[in-house]
Structure 1
Amino acid sequence: MKQISWVAVALLTLAMAGCSKPTIDASSDESMKASAQKVRESLPEAKRADFDEAIRILAFSQIDLAAIMAGGASSASIEAKMKGALDGKTAEEVIAQAAQVKAERQAREREQALAEIQELEKKRVDAEKSREELKKFAVLRSRFHFQEQRFMGKQPIIEITVKNGTNSPVSRAYFNGVIASPNRSVPWLKDDFNYSIKGGLEPGEEASWSLAPNMFSDWGKVEAPADAVFTVTVERLDGPDGETLFSTRGFDEDDTKRLAELKSKYGVK
């Protein structure tokens, strides 16, 4: 076997040194800026945007927002962590590590999203069950009109008759009232009101109330024509100790939209 001359070894060493890829030197701000630019320029034009994005991902992955809010992280320590995450890395290493950071972040986001979906689904199911129970608290009659007062003008009046068909005593009832005309898509008024029931309403009992909303509220300002109809739906009932028995308000339109968005984004049926 022919012995390799020292000249050949030297040439091979120089060739290998010439093929080594540039790395980021984060020993100072100046060297970091210059070396990062050199590393970037070593890449094909098509991959430079990926490198720029990877730099941002790695840098910001070192920021601990909780520590910052608690006052336990100085700007110097944050800067040191950012430099440490980039120091000595080639362009490929920066891009690969950023991809790993991004994948881990997406995995955490998915885990959190799935937990939120589960929570929203439970709220939706609970609201549907409550809606069925609330139907048992029947609104038998509902009227809205104005009553003339001698000195204070017109007082809005809500007249309502209900029957408690649930199995629980009710101390307070929450309603949504709508004043609308037939063949009109937009109601004249849609607003909530509630009533604290003196002595409560036991299962099977019926009661009629005449309520006087604030005349300076929207109830006192509504101007509905004679053909307008006043409808009332029950949205929540409180029990004897003031605890919520049933409520549809635990899952609103925002929750519905949020649930649909999360399911679509993460492919959940």
Structure 2
Amino acid sequence: MVAILLGVLSGCDKVFHEPTIDTSTDERMKKTAQDVRNSLPEDERLKFDNALKIVAFSQIDMNDIFHKDAASTGNYENRMKDVLHGKNAKQVFAEAENIKLERDERQRKQAMAEIAELEKKRTAAEKAKDELKKFLVVRSRFTHEEQKYGLKQPIIELTVKNGTSAAVSRAYFEGTIASPGRSVPWHVDKFNYSISGGLEPGEEQSWSLAPDKFSDWGLIEAPADAVFTVTVQRIDGADGHSLYSTTDFTERDANRLTELKSRYGI
């Protein structure tokens, strides 16, 4: 059915005054759509073709896409015919313009909702960053221990202090091994630790963690001047749920928020 409309070509049919589209049959629809097109100046015919596409495709819903049976096709064709029947060129243009305006408004509303959601995530991440500063990494060291057999064992040594007002059951970190004066670190990786018995407010603990020697931690060959720094990215409460996290608002989220606000002049 769409092909019938999109296949309308220039012809030499007789032009009637303000011809309209008659969708009573497929043949009548094809002919009368051609008559309406031929009644227009040459420079408006492409605009008419595009308007027909907009009107036709606007009648397709998700059921038409996912249920490609005769009933769905018939429903779509009937809706399209109802919209186009009795319309002249100006009315087809107006219908297409209304459809575009309604579509743009739906997109704007969706964008506003997404912007609000991203702003909320960003605000939460900023608050979390401030709160996570209270969960202190007092000391951080990275070493390799010689083993009797096989590869050296990488060791992460941490001393942390819980300066928050809540007990912490698990902490998530990002560790960076870098040398002073070098812009590119030797290694950056994330790790986490489940704290046996938790860490109550005001408590301090020291841990010696042993990452898999066959992981990237075991392959690090940093020079003697390299420094191991650790930042806290998330902490979970006693119930195992996240208390504060800076990872919920990602770089992709930030870029998306900037793009949407720029698009809509916010």
Q: Secondary structure at the match of 1:158?
A: strand
> Which residue of structure 2 lines up, in the alignment, with residue 60 of structure 1?
57
In the TM superposition, residue 97 of structure 1 has moved relative to its aligned partner by 0.6
Gaps of 5+ in 2: 1-14
Q: Larger deviation: 217-226 or 162-171?
A: 217-226
Find out whether 1:202 has 2:200 as its counterpart.
yes
Select 2:236's aligned residue among 226, 238, 242: 238
Q: Secondary structure at the match of 1:109?
A: helix
Single out whichever of 79-88 and 50-59 deviates more from structure 2: 79-88
| Change in CA separation of 1:257 and 1:81 when aligned onto 2, cut-off 3 Å | same
Q: 1:206 Cα shift?
A: 0.8
How far apart are residue 82 of structure 1 and its match?
2.0
- 2:24 and 2:220 map into 1 onto residues whose CA distance is 72
Q: Which residue of 1 aligns with 2:33?
A: 36
Pick closer, same or farther for the CA change 1:70–1:29 going to 2, 3 Å.
Answer: closer
Summarize the alignment of residues 67-216 of structure 1 with structure 2, pairs less than 5 Å apart: 68-69=65-66, 74-216=72-214
> Structure 2: which amino acid aligns with 1:106?
D
Bigger drift between 120-129 and 47-56 goes to 47-56
Shift of 1:67: 6.3
Give the alignment's TM-score, normalised by structure 1: 0.87
Amino acid in structure 2 at the alignment position of 1:150: K
Pair 137,102 (structure 1): closer, same or farther in 2 beyond 3 Å: same
- Farther off after superposition, 165-174 or 142-151: 142-151
Q: 1:20 aligns with which of 9, 17, 20?
A: 17
State which of 39, 44, 49 in structure 1 corresponds to 2:46.
49
Instruction: Give the equivalent residue in structure 2 for 1:10.
Output: none
Instruction: Note the alpha carbon deviations across 1:70-97, whole angstroms, 9 max, x for none.
Output: 7896122212222322222111111101
Deviation string 1:116-154 (CA, Å, 9 cap, x unpaired) is 111111111111111000000011111112222222312
Structure 2 contact 63–72 (Cα < 8 Å) conserved? no
CA apart distance, 1:208: 0.9
Equivalence for 1:7: none
Amino acid of the residue matched to residue 186 of structure 1? V
String of CA shifts for 1:1-21, please: whole Å, max 9, x gaps: xxxxxxxxxxxxxxxxx8621
Shift of 1:69: 3.8
Q: Greater CA deviation, 65-74 or 148-157?
A: 65-74
Distance 1:189 1:37, change over 3 A: farther
Q: Aligned partners of 1:33, 1:226: CA distance in 2, in Å?
A: 81
Does the C-alpha gap of structure 1 residues 212 and 166 become closer, same or farther in structure 2, counting only changes over 3 Å?
same
Contact kept in structure 1, 2:64 and 2:76, CA below 8 Å? no
**Where do 5+ consecutive residues of structure 1 fail to align?**
1-17
Change (3 A) 1:204 1:36: same
C-alpha contact (below 8 Å) 2:64/2:72 kept by paired residues: no
1:33 maps to amino acid: K
CA distance in 2 between counterparts of 1:34 and 1:186 reads: 69
CA RMSD of aligned residues (A): 1.9
Q: TM-score, normalised by structure 2?
A: 0.88
Q: Which residue of 2 aligns with 1:267?
A: 265
SS at match of 1:200: strand
